[in-house]
Chain A
Amino acid sequence: MISPRYAREIPQRYRLEAGRCTVCNAIYFPPRLICPNCKSKSFEEIKLNEEGTLLTFTIIRVGSEKFSKEVPYAVGIIELKDGVRLTAQLADCAVDKVEIGAKVKLVFRKIQEEGKWGLHCYGYKAILI
């Protein structure tokens, strides 16, 4: 059962909520309680920019059980326009079309489902633009 953790992570997974340190402006995703940069405990809530660049990626050809029907697919590290880096699966593209430096956009997709009876778990993936 992944439901409790899934529910806890909704602000980040659904709407890219991050914390910006009000002292040194560093952005943390997911948000933190103490800024590792300046030790401040004061943050403001921001929504990350949805567009960015693909820094690197790998192609999954043998997926874990839940993702085994989706292979081959790419998972990449993306640097968003506000400088934050995150990991996301790439959707709607053939793996031979994926290139480092590609412009990407985060979209709202179903990430996984708990079998036939469980929850649909949503979050962000990236598409090439």
Chain B
Amino acid sequence: MIGIVGYGSYLPRYRIKVDQIAKQWGADPESIKRGLQLYEKTVPGLDEDTITISVEAAKYALKRARIDPQKIGAVYIGSESHPYAVKPSGTVLIDALGIGPHVHVASYEFACKAGTEAMFVAYSLVKASEMDYALGIGADTSQGAPGDALEYSASAGGSAFIMGKENVAAEILFTNSYTSDTPDFWRREGEFYPRHAGRFTGEPAYFKHILNAGKNLLEKSGMSPKDFKFAVFHMPNGKFPQEAGKKLGFTKEQLEAGWIVPWMGNTYSGSSPTGLSAILDLAKPNDKIFMVSFGSGAGSDGFIFQVTDEIEKVRSLAPKVKDMLDNNKIYLDYGEYAKFRRKIILNE
């Protein structure tokens, strides 16, 4: 049996409400909340970035996995906000967690799907018996341009998954990916904020890739939506994953546990992985989970998990997503938020 032996998530304590951002730009907060189904989002502290978020998430994953960090043979961090353009995020992480130096490390990028890429490769290396354990992480501290629709959603957080063969808490039964060259969203080297093709990001990008990856995954597995207790899709806003789920034949109830975006925002590479983490926090043995990520550019990675008895042993060994979402929140006004996200021009 191969799958997740330890999982962990980390969300910053800072938040900004949609109302604050709408007020700044003269938009109507109620219509945004209704339209995007978003209420507030996480904001990273001045001292937080993809590396620190990955370290905290992976620390929790290690607590749940209860393994010697030295046994991890590969570490992959997927993000679109790696702190360095040149210098991998994972080197800091392995030294912080006592992994390696005999370890394969790489940074992955694929807009919002870099995290599931890291998970897929980590899983594949264990499956190929190259190593006993591999760590895949999705984390981001993404930014939308001031006044852009993305500013309401782009948030910060991440999740880490240790793949292995022993004491598996959620077995991976099937995977499937769907990729095509789609110019829906991009950021050129040296540019601070990303650009997107407005409505083009919906049908030809998000829905096309998620639905195709999802349909193929169902076909490959010979399963139907009613075989699953839970489903989670990439969450750029509250509305898209609900629509994608409905189109694939999943109910609102199946999406509920992983649909954390209204209070978290879009954590990009950490979006569907953190939804998965929230599901694992309350799933029962034998429950099946359907997951499809999405990254602009564009592509989707799909996974089918089956939860094992082991989940009951590991669940309470680290903080749960819901607890991080609900507790210790510190609300920022737009001015503080602009400072935290370095939107204010300072003298050097």
Smallest CB gap from A120: residue in B: B83
Given known A10-B95, A69-B46, contact A108–B348 (CB-CB < 8 A): no
Give min CB distance, A4 to chain B, whole Å: 16
Known: A69-B46, A91-B45. A122 touches B92 (CB 8 A): yes
Interface residue ranges of B87-114 to A (CB < 8 Å): 92, 95-98
Q: Do the beta carbons of B52 and A108 come within 8 Å of each other? A: yes
In the complex, which residues 9-24 of chain A have their Cβ closer than 8 Å to any Cβ of chain B?
Answer: 10-11, 14-15
Q: How far is the CA of A108 from the CA of B56 in the complex (A)?
A: 7
> What is the bound-complex CA distance between A115 and B330, given in angstroms?
27
Interface size of B in residues (CB-CB distance below 8 Å): 25
Nearest chain B CB to A103 CB, angstrom units: 13
Q: Are A15 and B98 in contact (CB under 8 A)?
A: yes
Closest 8 CB pairs of A and B: A109-B47, A14-B96, A108-B55, A110-B47, A92-B13, A14-B95, A108-B52, A109-B52
Residues of chain A with a CB closer than 8 A to B55's CB: 108
In the complex, which residue of chain B has the Cβ closest to the Cβ of A47?
B98
Take A92-B13, A92-B14, A120-B83 as given contacts and tell me if A110 and B95 are in contact as well, using a CB distance cutoff of 8 Å: no
Pairwise interchain contact B346-A69, C-beta atoms closer than 8 A? yes
> Which DSSP category, helix, strand, loop or mixed, fits chain A's interface?
mixed
In the complex, what's the smallest C-beta–C-beta distance from A27 to chain B, in angstroms? 18
Q: Is the CB of B96 within 8 A of A15?
A: yes
Q: Which chain B positions have C-beta within 8 A of A5?
A: none
A59 interface contact, C-beta 8 A: no
Among B49, B51, B92, B96, the one with the most A-chain Cβ atoms within 10 Å of its Cβ is B96
Which residues in B have some Cβ–Cβ distance to A below 8 Å?
Answer: 12-14, 45-49, 51-52, 55-56, 59, 83-84, 92, 95-98, 328, 330, 339, 346, 348
A120 to B14, CA, bound (A): 21
Contact A122 B51 (CB under 8 A): yes
A interface residue numbers (CB < 8 A to B):
10-11, 14-15, 47, 69-70, 91-94, 107-111, 115-116, 120, 122, 125, 127
Complex Cα gap A120–B88 (Å): 12
Can you give 23 contacting A-B residue pairs, CB < 8 Å? Answer: A15-B96, A15-B98, A69-B346, A70-B46, A91-B45, A92-B13, A92-B14, A92-B45, A92-B328, A93-B330, A94-B330, A107-B56, A108-B96, A110-B46, A110-B47, A110-B51, A111-B47, A116-B348, A120-B51, A120-B83, A120-B84, A122-B52, A122-B92
Instruction: Select one of B13, B14, B84, B348 contacting A115, CB under 8 A.
Output: B348
Closest to B54 in A: A108
- Whether B92 lies near A14 (C-beta < 8 A) is yes
A11–B83 CA distance with the chains assembled, in angstroms: 21
Give the residues in chain B near A116, CB-CB below 8 Å.
Answer: 348
Q: How far is the CB of A75 from chain B (nearest CB, A)?
A: 13
Contact partners of A127 in chain B: CB under 8 A: 13
Q: Which residues of A contact B328 (CB under 8 A)?
A: 92
Contacts of B98 in A (CB 8 A): 15, 47
Q: How far is the CA of A110 from the CA of B52 in the complex (A)?
A: 7
Residues of B within 8 A of A15 (CB): 95-98
CB distance from B100 to the nearest CB of A (A): 12
- Alpha-carbon distance A109/B45, docked complex (angstroms): 9
User: B residues within 8 A CB of A94?
Assistant: 330
Minimal beta-carbon separation of A95 from chain B (angstroms): 13
- Closest A residue to B69 by CB, please name it: A15
Beta-carbon nearest neighbor of A70 in chain B: B46
Contacts of A11 in B (CB 8 A): 95
**B47 close to A91 (CB less than 8 A):** yes
Q: Which residues of A contact B92 (CB under 8 A)?
A: 14, 122
Q: Closest approach, in angstroms, between the C-beta of A58 and any C-beta of chain B?
A: 19
From residue B167, how far is it (CB to closest CB) to chain A in Å? 23
